[in-house]
Amino acid sequence: MSLKWVITAAVALLATLALGAASSLVVLTTYLHRITLKMGEAVEGVRAAEDFEVSLLTFHRLQASRRRGEPIPDETLRRAEGDLYLQLERCLNEAQSEEEQALLASVQATFAAYLDVHARAPLSSLSRSTNLELNTHLEATLTPLNQVIALNILEARADQAQADQWDRIANLVGMIVAIVLVLGGALLWLWMRRSVFRPLLDISHAMRRFGSDDRSLRAPVAGPTELREMARTFNEMAESLRDQREAQLAFLAGVAHDLRNPLSALKMSAALVTSGRVSEERMQKTMGLVRRQVSRLDRMVGDLLDATRIEAGHFELSLEERDVRELVVSVVELYSAGGTPRELRMVLPEQPLVMRCDATRVEQVLHNLVSNALKYSPESSAVEVRVRREGDEVCLSVVDQGIGISPEEMRGLFAPFLRTGRAREKAPGVGIGLSVARRIVEAHGGRIEVESQPGQGSTFQVRLPLARAVEANPESGPEHEPPDPTGSLH
Range of the domain at 62: 3-188
Task: Let me know whether 127 and 230 are in one domain.
Answer: no
Task: Let me know whether 305 and 380 are in one domain.
Answer: no
Task: Let me know whether 441 and 385 are in one domain.
Answer: yes
Task: Let me know whether 12 and 34 are in one domain.
Answer: yes
Tell me how far apart the alpha carbons of residues 373 and 342 are, in angstroms, rounded to a whole number. 10
- Contact criterion met (CB below 8 Å) for 68 and 80: no
Task: Let me know whether 375 and 306 are in one domain.
Answer: no
Tell me how far apart the alpha carbons of residues 238 and 223 are, in angstroms, rounded to a whole number. 20
In a domain, 405, yes or no: yes
Bridging pattern class, strands 382-390 and 343-347: parallel
User: Which residues lie across from 354 on neighbouring strands?
Assistant: 323
Number of domains the chain contains: 3
Task: Let me know whether 331 and 465 are in one domain.
Answer: yes
Task: Let me know whether 301 and 379 are in one domain.
Answer: no
Task: Let me know whether 329 and 389 are in one domain.
Answer: yes
The CATH code of the domain that includes 332 is: 3.30.565.10
Task: Let me know whether 374 and 295 are in one domain.
Answer: no
Query: DSSP secondary structure string, 432-482?
Result: -HHHHHHHHHHHTT-EEEEEE-TTS-EEEEEEEEPPHHHHH-TT---SSPP
Eight-state DSSP code of residue 195 = I
Task: Let me know whether 247 and 379 are in one domain.
Answer: no
In a domain, 193, yes or no: no
pLDDT tens digits, the chain, 490 residues: what are they?
A: 677 777 788 788 888 888 888 888 888 888 888 888 888 888 888 888 899 899 989 988 888 888 777 888 888 888 988 998 998 898 888 888 888 889 989 989 998 998 888 887 776 666 778 888 888 988 998 999 899 889 888 888 888 888 888 888 888 888 888 898 888 888 888 888 887 788 888 888 888 887 777 777 788 888 778 888 888 888 888 888 887 777 777 667 766 766 666 677 677 777 777 776 667 777 777 777 777 677 767 767 777 777 677 766 667 788 899 999 999 998 888 887 666 677 888 999 999 999 999 998 899 899 889 988 888 888 878 899 999 999 999 999 999 988 888 888 887 777 766 655 555 555 555 567 788 888 899 989 999 999 988 888 899 999 999 986 444 444 434 443 444 444 443 3
- What's the Cα-to-Cα distance from 185 to each of 3, 16, 227, 401, rounded to whole Å? 15, 15, 21, 72
Task: Let me know whether 304 and 353 are in one domain.
Answer: no
Task: Let me know whether 53 and 13 are in one domain.
Answer: yes
Of the three residues 188, 203, 236, the one that is the final residue of a domain is 188
In a domain, 215, yes or no: no
Residue 82 belongs to what H/E stretch?
A: helix 74-94
